[in-house]
Amino acid sequence: MNIKNTLHYLGKAVLFGLIMAAIFLLATSLFNGGNGNHGLLQPASHDGSELSFAKAVRRAAPAVVNIYSLSIDQNRPLNSSSLQGLGSGVIMSKEGYILTNYHVIKQADEIVVALQDGRKFTSEVIGSDPETDLAVLKIEGDNLPIVPINLDIPVQVGDVVLAIGNPYNLGQTITQGIISATGRNGLSTGYLDFLQTDAAINAGNSGGALIDTRGELIGINTAAFQIGGEGGGHGINFAIPIKLAHSIMDKLIQHGRVIRGALGISGEALSPVVAQILNLPDTKGVLITGIDATGPAAKAQLMPKDVIIKYEGEEVPGVEMLMDRIAETMPGKKVMMTIIRQGKPQEIPVVIGEKPVSNG
């Protein structure tokens, strides 16, 4: 009887242990996302690779160069103190084209490019675009490192990013953060074009690379948010999206400058009140508020209070889209615009002009 009781209790203990083990295994599986690869909480591997961005850095960093803009003063000896506008750049092709910021090189008499492998080159300025603060340089060299690019991957708020550059001429440095906000990719100007990140972009990082965790270029670092006379340090930094930067680079290589279309208007978004006054069905479109007397719009007899609702058959949701489409249109091209004038739609042909080049 004692043996039977003992076996009975042992059986209960074993069964209880098996049940608890099963519950533990199930809970662990659920907590780790159902498998060993995609859980909410993953143990680090032996080399810690899950928590490292070293592979991404190794892919991109060799193509990020240090740029020294050298200003020559005939009244002063040429030495290291002649270096000004220290910044960064990114090698974009095997032909030696380098993207950087216009403000890095605009005062330079000679530009020296230093690679991470120790090589140094003097460079040629292929073209610059003050409106987007971009410039293209060219160096002659063999086996140049090229930054990985994928123009088809969208950047999303919350993506982890790394900024690579040469802050304060300390040497190549990597900072990490996330995408805080994204903008659009067009040729018109303004902060709406920028990627916002909290990855540190200090003096000297300008023109450097903003990459994702795959090591692919997503932007060109350009500015830190400033208040009054303060410097950066607010965690609000900006980079030019790679689609826009790549488009500008192609135009600079082809023409030496960026050719932008112009319509010769000023406009604003429609408010519900204005839409009601003008007897419009909704608030889509752009209300013309001013006309350049010598511009293409005046020649096409567009008038203030006209509302542009379509550009080349494409609906116009707001000012930014319209200005981008105009800027992207080659000067001399005739385009068809749909407007509403005094409550009635009209088709107006307009020959797009060329926007004057800014001198920075």
Structure-block tokens of residue 234: 């607010």
Structure-block tokens of residue 115: 């690679």
Does 88 participate in catalysis according to the annotation? no
Catalytic residue (choose from 88, 103, 246, 306): 103
Nearest-angstrom CA–CA distance, 172 and 170: 7
Does 234 participate in catalysis according to the annotation? no
Catalytic residue (choose from 206, 212, 246, 247): 206
Output the CA–CA distances (angstroms, integers) from residue 223 to 103, 140, 202, 236, in the order listed: 10, 29, 8, 9
Written as one string, the DSSP assignment of 97-120 is EEEE-HHHHTT-SEEEEE-TTS-E
Q: Where are the alpha helices (DSSP H) in the chain?
A: 2-31, 54-60, 102-105, 242-255, 272-277, 296-299, 319-328
Sole residue written with tokens 């100007």: 189
Does 292 participate in catalysis according to the annotation? no
Catalytic residue (choose from 123, 128, 129, 133): 133
Structure-block tokens of residue 104: 């890095």
Output the CA–CA distances (angstroms, integers) from residue 249 to 23, 119, 197, 216, 299, in the order listed: 59, 24, 23, 17, 32
Nearest-angstrom CA–CA distance, 174 and 61: 9
- The residues assigned a catalytic role are 103, 133, 206
